Structure 1
Amino acid sequence: MGKIHLLLTKEEIDEEKIKEGNKIVVVLDVLLATTTITSALHNGATEVVPVMNSLEALEAAKAYEEGQYILSGESKAKPIEGFVYPSPSILREKVKGKALIVSTTNGTVAIRKASGAKRTYVSSLLNNPFVAEKVKEQGLEETILVICSGTSGKLSLEDFYGAGHFLSCLLEHDDGQLKLTDAAMAALLFYKGNAGDAFEIFRSSYVGKLFEKNQFIDELAFAAQQGTIPIVPILKGQKIVAEHSIKL
């Protein structure tokens, strides 16, 4: 029987423990890093390089020829000078055929901290059903660790909701193979109680309110879409690439 654990923030990630056994990790930063990564790959980015900070982004860019990459990032929700802001709508027309090097306060840090797992997937409401299907294809005997990136060490409502949506997809047609921790069960129940209200949940969250204040309401609506992008972003080495999922 496989066991599903849920971490509420990136600060809970124990990098040494993640390396132990055959853990499958799914990272969510719904507003906005994992939504942006999923969207960028869907829009033709060749790969996404998640980095810890802007200095590491500049170092990573040295591996590419001029014009073959895009530097994108934010720090504590503020744009980084010289970088494209990491939002789906801004990057949509810029990423085709290019590598996206991206630095965010929470999501890319969580992905990097989880990189020691047997497999590390990047997920969002956009592609949760397809990531869940891929995880089920791999077998459900292994430990599955769902990670909410959170916001500066605190729970993010949108990530908690997104984790619940992922778990709902994962448990569809489950025959009792999976055992959820209390935290995972809480996320699942929260999602089920608000299954049709993604946009309003996001809008009411701390980050969502910042987005609305800064006229990013369209990004909330985009991130609230469920199951619209049939790709499975997986971390291979230091790069995220897209695996196209089977149709559900």
Structure 2
Amino acid sequence: MKVHVLLTKEEINAERLRENGKVAVVLDVLLATTTIISALNEGAKEVIPVMDENEAFSLSQSLKHENFILAGERDARPIEHFHYPSPTMLSPLVLGKSLILSTTNGTIALKKAESAERVYISSLLNNKRTAQQLLDCHLESTIVIICSGNAGEVSLEDVYGAGHLIHSLLYLSQQSINMSDAAKMAFYLFLGNQYKASELLSSSSVGNLFERYGLFDDLQLAATANTVSVLAVMKNGTALLEEEHASQSEIRKVRDI
């Protein structure tokens, strides 16, 4: 297994992702992929990431049912007529519904990663479940971990999340992995702050915005590692639970780490 890390979504090259069956894992710890994983864990039928609010409105009008929720933000600010994409706020609303999600960074990263052979959605909440899937099904593949970043800038929390995912791969496999320099950087950032997730996320630029807007519960949730065994994958532009669920023994193994 080879592991590369892209530090921002702007580094995504569709042609290179398409080459040789690369597998992508997209992270937007604050907050899109945390929201997606939380929503699927709370029983959402699906999460549909879109590029912007206009695409979200168009999609909602084309759906053959009305059992959906529009959620989104632009530069961390609410979008009129949309729910704010807070996982803790959306949690009681999503059961059985389609969540149409528009965010500044994470949903755009997911759309840009579509050329990969397989695209997984991950966060601190489910990184170890994602890692187990990569080891079970993509051991001979090149894995590209995509940090969404923030408007072209590197996001501390996403690099930390990438390091956490790499740590999970190493822990579960008990063998060395071929890592790019960016992957090693993420891994060592995580190692040096392994037990400081909440502090690190709060200190990041996006974390500072969350504190300013009073989103303390979302910060706490996003910093919580390995609390769900959700495996999420993109299929035809939609984030869904992977059909091949982990066995109970696998789930226990992940939770025990």
TM-score for both structures, normalised by structure 1 = 0.97
**Equivalent residue, structure 1, for 2:85:** 86
Partner of 1:13: 12
- Give the Cα separation in 2 of the matches to 1:139 and 1:85: 35
User: Counterparts in 2 of 1:29-48, with a 5 A limit?
Assistant: 29-48=28-47
Runs of 4+ in 1 over 4 A off after TM superposition: none
3-state SS in 2 of match to 1:96: coil
CA contact (8 A) 2:170 2:176 kept: no
Q: What amino acid does structure 2 have at the position aligned with 1:188? A: F
What amino acid is aligned across from residue 107 of structure 1 in structure 2? G
Amino acid corresponding to residue 155 of structure 2 in structure 1: S
Mapped contact 1:131–1:232 kept (Cα < 8 A): yes
Contact 2:132 2:172 in 1 (8 A): no
- Corresponding residue number in structure 1 for 2:179: 180
The alpha-carbon deviation at position 177 of structure 1 amounts to 5.6
Letter in 1 for 2:50: V
Residue ranges of structure 2 left out of the alignment (5+ in a row): none
- Any conservation in 2 of the 1:148–1:163 contact (CA below 8 Å)? yes
Structure 1 unaligned runs (5+)?
A: none
Amino acid at match of 2:10: E
Q: Which structure: greater helix fraction?
A: 2
In 2, distance between residues paired with 1:108 and 1:34?
A: 8
Does the CA-based 8 Å contact 1:28-1:124 persist in structure 2? Answer: yes
Structure 1 segment 186-197 matched on structure 2, within 5 A: 186-197=185-196
Partner in structure 2 of residue 76 of structure 1: 75
Contact 1:39–1:92 (Cα < 8 Å) also in 2: yes
**Contact 1:140–1:178 (8 Å) recurs in 2:** no
Structure 2 counterpart of 1:147, one-letter code: I
Q: Distance in 1 between matches of 2:134 and 2:172?
A: 14
Partner of 1:166: 165
Q: Normalising to structure 2: TM-score of the pair?
A: 0.93
SS in 1 for 2:218: helix
Aligned length: 247
Query: What is the percentage of aligned positions where both structures have the same residue?
Result: 47
Tell me what 2:99 maps to.
100
Contact 1:121 1:235 in 2 (8 A): yes
For the residue of structure 2 that corresponds to 1:11, the secondary structure is helix
Q: Which residue identity is paired with 2:111?
A: R
Contact 1:26 1:121 in 2 (8 A): yes
Query: Judging changes above 3 Å, is the alpha-carbon distance between structure 1 residues 101 and 116 closer, same or farther for their aligned structure 2 residues?
Result: same
Amino acid at match of 2:69: I
Q: Say which SS state the counterpart of residue 231 (structure 1) adopts.
A: coil
